Amino acid sequence: MTRIVLDGLGKRFGDQPALHDVDLDLPDGAFVVLLGPSGCGKSTTLRILAGLEDPTSGRVLFGDRVVADGDRGDVVPAKDRGLGMVFQSYALWPHMTVRTNIDWPLRVAGWSTADRTARVDEVLTMLEIDDLADRYPTEISGGQQQRVAIARTVAPRPGVLLFDEPLSNLDARLRVDMRAELVRVHRATGATSVYVTHDQTEALAMATHIAVMKDGVVEQFGTPTELLEEPATAFVASFLGTPPQVLLEGPDGSRSMYRPDSVALDPAGELPFEVLESTPVAGRWLVTGLVGATGSVASGRSRQRVTVITDGARPAGEATALRLPDRPAAVFGADGRRATPSTPSPTSTPVTA
Ligand SMILES: Nc1ncnc2c1ncn2[C@@H]1O[C@H](COP(=O)(O)OP(=O)(O)OP(=O)(O)O)[C@@H](O)[C@H]1O
């Protein structure tokens, strides 16, 4: 097991900055998800950990060992970092059986025949692919190929496992199955794991810790519960959760956060709300709509889209209103950073169209 530290990590492509001063401390044995929209820098971060890309500033440590130093230009080659990486594409050797594919990295690393046989049997069982051992990659399904690729990666017992959107080529059902499978494999290996995705549901389901990234910056690092319950920025509050928090913008650019289940639909409420759609979830309904009077579009004021949780469905087009609790759960300043939640400022009153 390996603690991973990113210390002031920066990356530029030419004069184009991709990462700004990223500090992260990933505990031994954690399953960390790098989460964020396209272009936020998550793959670049993973590629720097993997040794496929070099940082322009800052350092990466695996345990006490500096594996990349952007300021000095020192890097440890990928093959000497004690890591395994799983990509979207499985890249199995087509002329080798499943067993030989998994055995290959152990052979390269110089393991004895007895140790190799024992370890290959162990990971075949771990990934529940024992009965496929003598087949060739073309004779098994895409999901099975991904299991073989994972088995091959974990076989040499790397201290660090890196995953670059490994499930994105699988269909929706298989993705959900494989997600649980990967968590089980992570627990069985104990390897510190870093997993890149833009899918917040996947992140929340798998991670012990999540780093939410935007524009090359880590907006927040914490456990799924911390991020859901105490988002540090308006972006985190709007990106995570099904549904995400209800954010209402004040005239000064600040935003008030309300928990979606604390906001009621009530024609007598203070904020006009037009229903767009209702989706059933676990016996309740997510009702999405636009806040503000219909005429506000014509007046140039944009209408905010929010989702609340209700007991029943609401017809699309219904004009009703939001009834808010007495005070917001948190307030974010115009810079998006969280102001003290317990003392919301008077200027943070949401827009009343
Ligand atoms: N090889 C490269 N050359 C130039 N710019 C790059 C290169 N790789 C990434 N970038 C830029 O760096 C920024 C971060 O890209 P990165 O691929 O890390 O984002 P990402 O969050 O993984 O996005 P995606 O989910 O689309 O893969 C983007 O602006 C991207 O255009």
Q: Phi and psi for 247 in degrees, rounded to 5?
A: -110, 125
Does the C-beta of 10 come closer than 6 Å to ligand 1? no
Atom of ligand 1 nearest to the CA of 198: 25
Confidence of residue 142 (pLDDT cuts 50, 70, 90): confident
105 & 213 share domain? yes
C-alpha 165 – ligand 1 centre gap (Å)? 14
* Amino acid identity for residue 334 in this structure: A
CA 31 to chain centre: 11
* pLDDT tier for residue 340 given thresholds of 50, 70 and 90: low
**Distance from residue 85's CA to the centre of ligand 1 (Å):** 18
CA of 32 to the centre of ligand 1 (A): 20
**Residue with CA nearest ligand 1 atom 28:** 39
193 in contact with ligand 1, CB cutoff 6 A: no
Residues 199 and 254 grouped into a single domain: no
- CB burial of 243-274 (b: ≥16 within 10 Å; e: otherwise) equals bbbbbbbbeeebbbbbbbebbebeeeeebbbb
DSSP-based three-state secondary structure for 16:
strand
Mean pLDDT computed over every residue of the chain: 91
Sign of the alpha-carbon torsion through 148, 152, 158, 163: negative
**Same domain? 338 vs 255:** yes
The proportion of the chain whose per-residue pLDDT surpasses 90, expressed as a percent, equals 82
Supply the residue whose CA is at minimum distance from atom 31 of ligand 1: 39
Residue 247 has pLDDT above 70, yes or no: yes
pTM, two decimal places = 0.89
Residue 352 within a domain: no
User: Is residue 262 a part of any domain in this protein?
Assistant: yes
Q: Is residue 273 part of a domain?
A: yes
Residue at a domain's end among 203, 228, 253? 228
| Percent of all residues in the chain with a pLDDT value above 70, rounded to a whole number | 93
Confidence of residue 173 (pLDDT cuts 50, 70, 90): confident
Residue 224 confidence class, pLDDT cut points 50, 70, 90: very high
Whether ligand 1 lies within 6 angstroms of the CB of 214 is answered as: no
**Ligand 1 nearest-atom number relative to CA 40:** 21
**What tokens does 31 get?**
């399953």
Structural domain tally of the chain? 2
Assess whether pLDDT exceeds 90 at residue 75.
yes
163 and 279 housed in the same domain = no
Instruction: Please report whether residue 236 resides in a domain.
Output: no
How are the residues of the chain apportioned to helix, strand and coil, as percentages rounded to the nearest 5? 30, 30, 40
pLDDT at 303: 81
Same domain, 285 and 139: no
Among 85-94, 122-131, 257-266, the range scoring the smallest mean pLDDT is: 85-94
Specify the range with the lowest mean pLDDT, choosing from 47-61, 206-220, 236-250, 338-352.
Answer: 338-352
* 215 and 177 belong to one structural domain: yes
333 shares a domain with 213: no
> Is 347's pLDDT higher than 60?
no
**Whose C-alpha lies nearest to ligand 1, atom 18?**
41
d(CA 64, CA 173): 40
Give the three-state DSSP class for 310: strand
| Strands 4-13 and 57-62, sheet pairing | antiparallel
CATH number at residue 108: 3.40.50.300
Residues 176 and 292 in one domain: no
For atom 17 of ligand 1, the residue with the nearest CA is: 43
Read off the pLDDT of each residue in 323-340 and give the average, rounded to a whole number.
92
Residue 353 lies in a domain: no
Q: What is the ipTM of this complex?
A: 0.96
Q: Cα of 260 to ligand 1 centre, how many Å?
A: 33
pLDDT of residue 148 exceeding 90, the answer is yes
Q: How many angstroms is it from 172 CA to the middle of ligand 1?
A: 25
Do 219 and 292 share a domain, yes or no? no
Q: How many whole angstroms from 41 Cα to the centroid of ligand 1?
A: 6
88 plus 194 within the same structural domain: yes
Q: 263, 286 in Cβ contact below 8 A?
A: no
Closest residue CA from atom 30 of ligand 1: 39
Q: Give yes or no: residues 169 and 208 share one domain.
A: yes
- How far apart are the CA of 300 and the centre of ligand 1, in A? 34
Confidence at residue 175, expressed as pLDDT on a 0 to 100 scale? 87
In the prediction, which pLDDT does 9 show? 97
Does the beta carbon of 299 sit less than 6 angstroms from any atom of ligand 1? no
Domain boundary residue, one of 199, 228, 257: 228
Which of 182, 203, 228 corresponds to the end of one domain?
A: 228
Query: How does residue 143 score in pLDDT terms, banded at 50, 70 and 90?
Result: confident
CA-14 nearest atom, ligand 1: 4
Helix (H), strand (E) at residue 119: helix 113-126
Residues 212 and 334 in one domain: no
Q: 59: closest CA among 46, 74, 77?
A: 74
- Residue 13: CB within 6 Å of ligand 1? yes
| Residues 180-205, mean pLDDT to the nearest whole number | 93
State whether the beta carbon of 93 lies less than 6 angstroms from ligand 1: no
Q: Is residue 168 one of the residues assigned to a domain?
A: yes
Q: Looking at the domain assignment, is residue 177 inside a domain?
A: yes
pLDDT at 346: 45
Residues 261-278: pLDDT tens digits? 999 999 999 999 999 999
237 within domain boundaries:
no
Q: Using the mean position of ligand 1's atoms as its centre, give its distance from the Cα of residue 39 in Å.
A: 5
Judge whether residue 61 has pLDDT over 50: yes
Task: Name which of 79-83, 85-89, 327-331 the model is least confident about.
Answer: 85-89
**What is the domain extent for residue 320?**
243-347
